[in-house]
Amino acid sequence: MHIFLLSDIFGCLAFALLAAWFMTRPDTDIRFQEKVVFSFFFAGAIICLGMSFTFHTVSCHSVAVVRIFCKLDYLGISLLIIGSFVPWLYYGFYCRREPKITYIAMVCVLGLVAVVVSLWDKFSESRYRPLRAGVFLSLGCSGVVPTVHFIITDGVSTLFEVASFHWLLLMAALYIFGTLLYATRTPERFFPGK
């Protein structure tokens, strides 16, 4: 439990400080549009880590409190995934307005579905844990559609060289790894009660 608290609070504070530094740069260094685009990521990271910290802090309070903050923890995860995609889509389709807007809207709608599933009481039951993991995995894998579009229009080499696809792959691998840890209750199942 303690490792979750420390990693979440330090991560939340680090992203808050980084966001403050980034957003206060002069417009000559970082344009306002870029600040808006990256604010999605920073907000998602700060909310995700903040909600996770809060959930792990109050998880021993009562069943009612755990249910509420568990939902907010899932909400934070959804917002982080959405926020992580927005900058890549914005820059990957920088000169193509329609696909950029379409794919950002698609990720936001899928994220909204994940939020609804997260906040719906029925889906907070433990028997729906695999379904919740599947919803987050689907949201995370939604990047396949714009990736295929990019490959068809520009080719694989441009995808890696111009659109920084390797960073999206790293993000996907980390999110899939996190989903697997969540679905298998690792590491907490190895240290029950600690």
DSSP the chain: -HHHHHHHHHHHHHHHHHHHHHHTS-TTTS-HHHHHHHHHHHHHHHHHHHHHHHHHHHTTT-HHHHHHHHHHHHHHHHHHHHHHHHHHHHHHTTT-HHHHHHHHHHHHHHHHHHHHHHH-GGGGSGGGHHHHHHHHHHHHHTTHHHHHHHHHHH-HHHHHHTS-HHHHHHHHHHHHHHHHHHHTTTTGGGSTT-
61 annotated ligand-binding residue: no
Q: Residues within the annotated binding site for Zn(2+)? A: 56
Q: Residues within the annotated binding site? A: 56
